[in-house]
Amino acid sequence: MSYAALAALVLAVALCGGIFARRARLLVRLVLQGKPAPRFDDVPARVRNEAVIALGQRKLLQRLVPGLTHAFIFWGFIALLPTIAMAMIAIVDRTATLPWLGHQPWFALLVDVFAVLVLTGVITTFSIRMILRPKRFEGSHLAEAALILALIAGVVATLLPWHASKIALSLNEWPAAWSPVSNALSHWFDGDAGTAAAERVLVWAHVLIILSFLAYVPYTKHLHVFTAVVNVFFGRTKARGRLEPLRFDEEGPEEDMRLGSGTVADLTWKQIIDTYSCTECGRCQDVCPAHATGKDLSPKLLIMALRDQLFAEGPGLLDGADSAEAPSPLVPGAVSDDVVWDCVTCGACVHECPVSIEHIDHIVDLRRHLVMVESRFPAEADPMLRDVERASNPSGNAQSDRAAWAEGLDVRVLEPGDSAPEVLYWVGCAASFDPRARQTAVSTAKLLKAAGVDFAILGPRECCTGDPARRMGNEYVFQELAEQNVETLNAVAPTTIITSCPHCFNTLSSEYPDFGGNYNVKHHSEFLSELVRDGRLNPTASDTPITYHDSCYLARHNDVLEAPRELVAAVGKPVEMQRMGKRTFCCGAGGAHMWLEERGSPINEDRVREAAETGAETLAVACPFCTVMLDDGIRTSGVDLRVTDIATLLADAIAAPADSD
Ligand code: SF4
Ligand code: SF4
């Protein structure tokens, strides 16, 4: 045992550990001062996410080559952890190792295998980032990433020859044959005094590189190495389309109240860990419809900008009253107003992000502050916000006209005190008032009647769910409408609610439980496909090629994928677009964009061109907003397609459905 080596090691560990601890203390203190976020429930699901997303690398493996290379590095990092302790022990006493584990042949094999895999992963990752340079890395810190990859390569590039030198010196505690790579490399060494010196140099180099990594990484943009697994644990476990409600009551500590995010002081602790965890991989940017169509928004750059501002102003924030400067606005400090309003809340970024960063929560919180505190939002949205508040629908129509679409269809309109029907059809504002979307309501009503379903509508008592106001950032108005609708619905106490609008579906099923409304909500595609399956509706399929456009709020936010496809298959010949299912591409209407002017290239035109490439004659949709947006896209792009809601396609495919009324 070498006391000099022990002293040197203690000094190195203390120095690097101290640098690490100093940074870790700041990072932890920033998280602890974050605003509350309820993420301690549903522990079994969190553990499952940790196993599947973090350990299993599921999201990363959606892209095979970069996913595998990252998985090699990540799994190798875990598998090789004990070798750090072994190397430190060997520095002090070259004949000692970890009890038991250090002698295991299988562990020696594991070390060799993973060292090679890590090296392969590092070289491939380096080649992808530095040579191929896919667009998703635009704006990422590539030089810093290269240095970190070099450090990781250094760890394994010293580990293998160190083991080789031990074998050459017969210091290996394991059978040499079980470490084939190190054994092969041992032939570089001849076992003399030079090998003994090399063994010391290699083990020290190995440990010093690891300690440098420990000290350096938390100060870089790559601190995700330490925080990503934590962020995955606290990621959403259910209701991905749900927004966290703001608290307007007087209950609870005043300092916990917030009106969205105005400065870094308003970020929740989860949002702070989000910013720490971004790997700058650009997967979110790659799938963002706003970014793809040339808008300013990049979800990656947004998270990076929030992190930069947090790091710039965080220390002052912790100093509190002693700080010379108050935190500055996030908009336009970190990001511009345009970036905030470009988002269609499609959730593609959240779905792709391998470390469970929740971009929509950040963006909606920025909007909440702009709208509710600063009254700053695109002027064209003003009529919608006023109409939702004043007329209970975003188009400003008279509520008394809500059931006008049903004239002549003999649809029961529920009056207060009426008994609940088997099914309550929640029509939604678009299908109630928009001339193009109304056909969906008409077809749905005809189909329900054809199948003999006992259903009714609320008529003038149905108000906007509040979704467009909420996605615009006006949480006050949303909560008022939510409370009003929940009161109406709880009085009716329906067994089942069906709705043809994915936005209503999301709000009724995922957001109203926060306001005391717990209902069995089905999208009309789910209910109608059940009726077809049960033989209560019998469509005749044609040879017409139909491509189905997944609505973001149905497929990605709420996992409704199969039911609409069953209906398409029941009425025609399905052909899929490349971006489908949970990886669908937005129509451009989400996040209240139905009422905002779009800058740059239109998202809806991009989507209808993709639909036309399938050779389909019909573009099937299951959302009134998609109906309007994609129909507009067809008109402006000149694509030869017909947009039709699946309810209308089904109604057309049923022999004389109107006759059965
Ligand atoms: S939600 Fe959609 S539009 Fe918004 S940042 Fe994410 S990918 Fe882009
Ligand atoms: S937010 Fe997620 S997907 Fe986007 S760059 Fe960061 S880690 Fe990658």
Q: Is the pLDDT of residue 580 over 90?
A: yes
**Is pLDDT larger for residue 567 or for residue 130?**
567
Under the banding of pLDDT at 50, 70 and 90, the label for residue 257 is confident
- For 492-536, the pLDDT digits (tens) are 999 999 999 999 999 999 999 999 999 999 999 999 999 999 999
Q: What is the mean pLDDT of residues 208-231?
A: 95
**Closest approach atom of ligand 2 to CA 283:** 3
Under the banding of pLDDT at 50, 70 and 90, the label for residue 660 is very low
Nearest residue by C-alpha to atom 3 in ligand 2: 353
Q: Is the pLDDT of residue 471 over 90?
A: yes
Nearest residue by C-alpha to atom 3 in ligand 1: 343
**Closest approach atom of ligand 2 to CA 136:** 5
Ligand 2 center to residue 455 CA distance, Å?
45
Under the banding of pLDDT at 50, 70 and 90, the label for residue 321 is low
Phi and psi angles of residue 544, each rounded to the nearest 5 degrees, phi first: -65, 125
Ligand 2 site residues, Cβ closer than 6 angstroms: 278-284, 299-300, 303, 352-355, 357
Q: Return the pLDDT at 658.
A: 44
Give just the sign of the alpha carbon dihedral 261, 263, 264, 266. negative
Ligand 2 center to residue 446 CA distance, Å?
46
Q: Is the pLDDT of residue 657 over 50?
A: no
Report the residue among 221, 355, 356 best suited for mutation to probe ligand 2: largest number of ligand atoms under 8 A from its CB.
Answer: 355
> Distance (Å, rounded) from C-alpha 94 to C-alpha 195?
13
**Closest approach atom of ligand 2 to CA 285:** 4
Report the residue among 359, 362, 367, 556 best suited for mutation to probe ligand 1: largest number of ligand atoms under 8 A from its CB.
Answer: 359
Say which CATH architecture domain 532-660 belongs to.
3-Layer(aba) Sandwich (3.40)
- Ranges of each domain in the chain: 3-33+80-222, 391-503, 532-660
Nearest residue by C-alpha to atom 2 in ligand 1: 346
Report the residue among 295, 300, 345 best suited for mutation to probe ligand 1: largest number of ligand atoms under 8 A from its CB.
Answer: 345
Phi and psi angles of residue 644, each rounded to the nearest 5 degrees, phi first: -145, 140
Q: Return the pLDDT at 656.
A: 44
- Tokens for 600? 């740059």
**Closest approach atom of ligand 1 to CA 347:** 1
**Closest approach atom of ligand 2 to CA 280:** 5
Q: Return the pLDDT at 659.
A: 43
Strands in 558-641 per DSSP E:
573-574, 618-621
Ligand 1 site residues, Cβ closer than 6 angstroms: 287-290, 297, 299, 343-349, 359-360
Ligand 1 center to residue 10 CA distance, Å?
48
Name every residue whose Cβ is closer than 8 Å to that of residue 358 and which is 6 or more positions away in sequence: 235, 236, 270, 271, 274, 350
Q: What is the mean pLDDT of residues 135-163?
A: 96
Report pTM: 0.95
> Distance (Å, rounded) from C-alpha 291 to C-alpha 283?
12
**Closest approach atom of ligand 1 to CA 287:** 7
Ligand (nearest to CA of 359): 1
Q: Return the pLDDT at 255.
A: 74
Q: What is the mean pLDDT of residues 138-167?
A: 96
Q: Is the pLDDT of residue 661 over 60?
A: no
Ligand 2 center to residue 233 CA distance, Å?
16
Ligand (nearest to CA of 284): 2
Q: Is the pLDDT of residue 242 over 70?
A: yes
Report the residue among 343, 598, 599 best suited for mutation to probe ligand 1: largest number of ligand atoms under 8 A from its CB.
Answer: 343
CA distances from 233 to 66, 226, 236, 307 (A): 23, 13, 9, 20
Q: Is the pLDDT of residue 550 over 80?
A: yes
Locate tokens 């995700």: which residue?
Answer: 224
Q: Which residues in 607-632 are b (16+ Cβ under 10 Å) and which e?
A: bbebbbebebbbbbbbbbbbbbbbbb
Report the residue among 349, 364, 471, 583 best suited for mutation to probe ligand 1: largest number of ligand atoms under 8 A from its CB.
Answer: 349
Burial of 391 (0-12, 13-18, 19+ CB in 10 A): middle
Q: Return the pLDDT at 48.
A: 97
Ligand (nearest to CA of 66): 2
Phi and psi angles of residue 35, each rounded to the nearest 5 degrees, phi first: -70, 160
Mean model confidence pLDDT for the chain: 95
Q: Is the pLDDT of residue 19 over 50?
A: yes
